[in-house]
Amino acid sequence: MSAIYNYILSLANANVNLYKIGGPILISVGTVSCIINLTVFSKKTLRKNPCSIYLIACNVTNFVLIYTSILIATLGTGYSIDPSAHNWIVCRLRYYITLVCDVLNPSYLILAAFDRILVTSRNALTRQHSTSRLAYICICITTLFWLIFHSHALIFTTIIETAPGVAICYFQPGLYLSLISYYSLIIKALLIPILMVILGLWTVKNVRSMNHVTAVVNASTSVGVTIPGGVRTAHSKDRQLIKILLVDTSIYIFFNTMISIILIYQQIMQNQSQSYVQLYIQGFLTSVSVFSAFIPFCIDCYTNLWVSKTFRQEVKNTLTCK
């Protein structure tokens, strides 16, 4: 019995330390990441590109998420300071903003991926649909949809007293909690990653097709064969934005894999009896998976610096005030 108690205690300490140490690090690097990204993508050379507009929207969402969900989770788990457990307005706003921002970021990435499909299409009429106006319309419609769709959290989130003098902010137990679980499983764990993979592969296919056609045209031109209409090649900035987007979506999928697996496991095991230790381990892994899911919102800038020469140059120009 003592060994089990020590094991559970070690998990509890690990969970607290994860948020106590890792939380402030995430908030710090995430804040810097959002500021740099917003500065770069808002530059005159990039802000007219539809993909940049979607990435600006992503970073605005990330900034809001950092100073609501991540901050409150860090204070609550790492420092035992949870304002949402004592004020029902803060409680409801916390989960409402979390649900909205958590789905807005991947939604904007999906829209950006769709825009890259339009840009890399071999059909000139299709490419013409990639416009800043369409980007703003899609962002407004998507944002409004998710704001309305998640309005139920402002009603059915409540403060639950788990023990005398101990309260937590959470979704109402029963049918509503089950619906939220299925929603998270279907939307976050399955639909969003599947859409990202499909659109990412589609973009790669279009890019390879463009490169193949360009190679054929160059070879034909070199032997004196003229191809009417020529061929359209992706501009350097478009290629760089495609790289950024593919890496961003890959990182999102990677760091959300754990929570997706746990959500599926919870649905499978919900009607089966589990020991106290199993439930505690499941709770610990859920907490770790939530922390893992926060990471993609905080590291965009650093991956952009790694994959994009254009982004590195723009950051350099910004730091040197050029």
Residue 226 confidence (pLDDT): 41
Residue 231 confidence (pLDDT): 42
Q: Which domain holds residue 68?
A: 2-209+233-319
Asked whether residue 135 is domain-assigned, the answer is yes
Taking residue 279's Cβ as centre, other Cβ atoms within 10 Å add up to 11
Residue 235 confidence (pLDDT): 62
Instruction: List pLDDT tens digits, range 284-303.
Output: 998 999 999 999 999 999 99
Asked whether residue 215 is domain-assigned, the answer is no
- In degrees, rounded to 5, the angle at the alpha carbon of residue 64 between the alpha carbons of residues 171 and 311 is 135
H helical segments located in 68-191: 71-73, 79, 88-119, 124-127, 132-149, 153-156, 175-183
Residue 222 confidence (pLDDT): 46
What six digits make up the tokens of 124?
């000139």
Residue 225 confidence (pLDDT): 43
Residue 115 confidence (pLDDT): 92
Asked whether residue 217 is domain-assigned, the answer is no
**Residue with tokens 């939604």, as numbered in its chain:** 107
Asked whether residue 83 is domain-assigned, the answer is yes
Q: At what angle do helices 309-319 and 236-269 cross, to 10 degrees?
A: 110
> Which residues of the chain carry a pLDDT beneath 70?
1, 211-236, 322
Strands (E), 99-216: 157-163, 166-171
Residue 315 confidence (pLDDT): 87
pTM for this predicted structure: 0.87
Residue 233 confidence (pLDDT): 47
Q: Specify the CATH number for the domain of residue 78.
A: 1.20.1070.10
Residue 230 confidence (pLDDT): 42
**CA torsion, points 22, 23, 25, 29, in degrees to nearest 10?**
130
The residue among 196, 198, 200 whose CA lies nearest residue 208 is 200
Asked whether residue 225 is domain-assigned, the answer is no
Asked whether residue 219 is domain-assigned, the answer is no
Asked whether residue 222 is domain-assigned, the answer is no
Residue 239 confidence (pLDDT): 80
Contact 96, 154 (CB under 8 A): yes
Residue 152 confidence (pLDDT): 94
Number of domains comprising the chain: 1
Asked whether residue 194 is domain-assigned, the answer is yes
Whole-number Å distance between alpha carbons of 270 and 78: 28
